[in-house]
Amino acid sequence: IRYLNLLRLIRLLKALNNIPEYERIMQIIMRMITTCGDVLVMNFLVVYMWAAWGQQLYGGLLVKDNPALKEQDDLDYFDSHFQVYNFNDMVLGMVTLFFVTITQWNNQVTCVCMALHEHFTFSWFVTCAYWISYYIASPLIAF
């Protein structure tokens, strides 16, 4: 029955197409989507590439039982219950990067990734390069 109600919504949308103002608004929205299509695809590709890279770097490491994170007392990542934002698979990696983009660039996810490695080691510099390159690539190239 729930799915039949969705079909009723489609019937409502067809009925709204008879109203000239609504039809004009829908034409404008469709024109905006087709115009922004290239930007949306570029943004998706940037997030997808960095999610794949993040999965290789941090997949399975952002857990409370990780010995590298046990000695870190100043991490709000676990206190704020952000464990769902990780790079264990591609979908969660993309959600994590979207979360980082819309909240703050220097947030708990970035800090916990930096805390995985000792300061000024090769892995630490790779993590810095990862987040700086995503900062540059995501909003500046995609938009």
Residues 79, 138, single domain; the answer is yes
What pLDDT digit, counting tens, does each position of 14-23 carry? Answer: 888 788 888 8
Give the span between the Cα atoms of 99 and 85, in whole angstroms.
8
Residue 115 belongs to what domain range? 37-142
What pLDDT digit, counting tens, does each position of 70-119 carry? Answer: 877 777 877 888 888 889 999 999 999 888 888 866 678 888 888 888 88
Residues 99, 84, single domain; the answer is yes
Residues 88, 74, single domain; the answer is yes
| Averaged pLDDT score across all residues of the chain | 85
Within 17-121, residue ranges assigned H as helices are 20-35, 37-58, 67-70, 90-102, 108-115
Residues 115, 126, single domain; the answer is yes
HSE (side-chain half, CA atoms, 13 Å) at 139: 9
Residues 22, 77, single domain; the answer is no
Q: What is the pLDDT of residue 141?
A: 62
When pLDDT is cut at 50, 70 and 90, the band that residue 5 belongs to is confident
